[in-house]
Amino acid sequence: GNSVTQMEGPVTLSEEAFLTINCTYTATGYPSLFWYVQYPGEGLQLLLKATKADDKGSNKGFEATYRKETTSFHLEKGSVQVSDSAVYFCALKRSGGGADGLTFGKGTHLIIQP
């Protein structure tokens, strides 16, 4: 079946540091890939997405590139801010569409210290 593996936290960085959160997946075909973010006390929000190989999703300074050859979708940001502190979830939607939901990783708790 489909699965998503991401590094578990907490990940603690200083402000302006470079961020990488690793995410790898197992799925047949060509799934769509997503990063969701959950700020404290809020629901999940879509951060960025990529729907085919070599696509790069980007938003709010975050980027992730769909790497079919390594089945990865690592999240990066060049300079993090305290406001980026949140839980980040990598997820996939299986190829072929359908109403069944997303497959999520366990989430990575990111803490940015001033």
Partner 1 sequence: SQTIHQWPATLVQPVGSPLSLECTVEGTSNPNLYWYRQAAGRGLQLLFYSVGIGQISSEVPQNLSASRPQDRQFILSSKKLLLSDSGFYLCAWSLNSKGYGYTFGSGTRLTVV
Q: Which residues bind partner 1 (CB under 8 A)?
A: 4, 32, 34, 36, 41-46, 49, 51, 89, 91, 93, 97-107
> Smallest distance from the beta carbon of 61 to partner 1, in angstroms?
20
> Smallest distance from the beta carbon of 25 to partner 1, in angstroms?
12
- What burial letters (b/e) apply to 72-85, b meaning 16+ CB within 10 Å? bbbbebeebeeebb
Question: Please, which residue, 48 or 112, has the CB nearer to partner 1?
Answer: 48
> Smallest distance from the beta carbon of 38 to partner 1, in angstroms?
8
> Smallest distance from the beta carbon of 8 to partner 1, in angstroms?
9
Question: Please, which residue, 103 or 110, has the CB nearer to partner 1?
Answer: 103
Helix (H, G, I), strand (E, B) or coil at 25: strand
Question: Please, which residue, 69 or 100, has the CB nearer to partner 1?
Answer: 100
Indicate the pairing of strand 86-93 with strand 103-104: antiparallel
Residue with tokens 């989430």: 107
